Structure 1
């Protein structure tokens, strides 16, 4: 019995490596969060990140909006934590000596700052709310960085 050896409790939901969330179905390179121990797997990263999200939630209280789980449109003034696919942004900015993981983090954060400075961040959130939210009525399996006219055009390397 898996439960007796420290595994999931009886009746727990178990995923399969072929299961894709909505956002992964809408991209050509999405991978299942249940995909472990193979090249390109994201399962371990997903599992490793969940305790950090809990810690952020516990330590910040209402100051952080976990998008889209806390709602599609955050209240102004809150910091937003959202899932992104770093490969979408990786080559938009010069690497400048960063490791691949550092570049992924930098590029995703920089892109979000740039979108906010251009006044497009709210449009990205509204497009997600109108698109994913209205059609699906659920806040699971959505990532930020969708297609918003005039806001997601490729920027030259900076």
Structure 2
């Protein structure tokens, strides 16, 4: 890999709103990750919007092999797939953006919640979440620290990157547990697993989450232990479930 990117995400406001909670750090081999700021001439803010962040990530993927960790859910529980007769992650994404077009201008996740036919139980967990002690349901939106809004805001942008980057980008584990050499890889991540390993120094909580993700991805790759995390010890049935529900990179 040429670089390692950690993203702390946010589902607040609209897709074009600059958000203090969105943070990006990028690490290159042998160097600790510095923060990455948006192109202020284009965005006129020192904070990322979800739209601007997606454009930047796409540029990185087009020019080099990146390992990217983002802290929002990449999919929903199996029950959701069965209830709405969705047979693949691709069909899930297409269905989701039809009912939750949170990427559209002047649209918020909150504004789409009322009367939305596509929803889930805030107590329901995916398999990967049951393997952690603190991960919450991706349907939970009104509790501090929950990832529900970030997930509902971020999924359309995953779909956009999938269409724009094509074969250059491997969505783990949906495209397979073992990425091809030379491809960029993007994976759901959970900063709480790693953030205490690294001194916080003068970073705030969101900055520390993004920093820790980039640092952990870099170190795990350079130390040769990333294959362990790319292949969690699942049964064949669990692996087939995770190919739809997704998995959190680092949970093993």
Shorter chain as normaliser: what TM range?
A: 0.7 to 0.9
Q: Alignment partner for residue 157 of structure 2, among 40, 52, 62?
A: 52
Distance 1:133 1:75, change over 3 A: farther
1:40 is aligned to 145
2:234 is aligned to 132
2:205 is the counterpart of 1:100: yes
Q: Distance in 1 between matches of 2:202 and 2:150?
A: 23
2:223 is aligned to 118
Structure 1 residues 77-127: Cα deviation after superposition (integer angstroms, max 9, x where no partner):
11111111111111111223222111111101210110110111122213x
Q: Which moved more, 1:47-56 or 1:131-140?
A: 131-140
Offset of 1:68 from its aligned partner? 0.7
Greater share of strand: 2
Asked if structure 1 preserves the Cα contact closer than 8 Å seen for 2:131 and 2:251, the reply is no
Look up the SS of the partner of 1:82 in the other structure.
strand
Q: CA RMSD in A?
A: 2.1
Offset of 1:133 from its aligned partner? 5.7
| Structure 2: runs of 5 or more not aligned | 1-98, 100-110
Structure 1 segment 140-151 matched on structure 2, within 5 A: 140-147=245-252
Q: Distance in 2 between matches of 1:85 and 1:133?
A: 22
2:58 is aligned to none
Distance 1:133 1:68, change over 3 A: farther
Structure of greater relative contact order (alpha carbons < 8 Å, 6+ residues apart): 2
2:187 is the counterpart of 1:82: yes
Asked if structure 2 preserves the Cα contact closer than 8 Å seen for 1:72 and 1:133, the reply is no
1:8 is aligned to 116
2:176 is the counterpart of 1:71: yes
| Structure 1: runs of 5 or more not aligned | 148-158
Runs of 4+ in structure 1 over 4 Å off? none
TM-score calculated relative to the size of structure 1: 0.78
Q: Alignment partner for residue 21 of structure 1, among 106, 121, 126?
A: 126
Look up the SS of the partner of 2:150 in the other structure.
helix
Look up the SS of the partner of 2:170 in the other structure.
strand
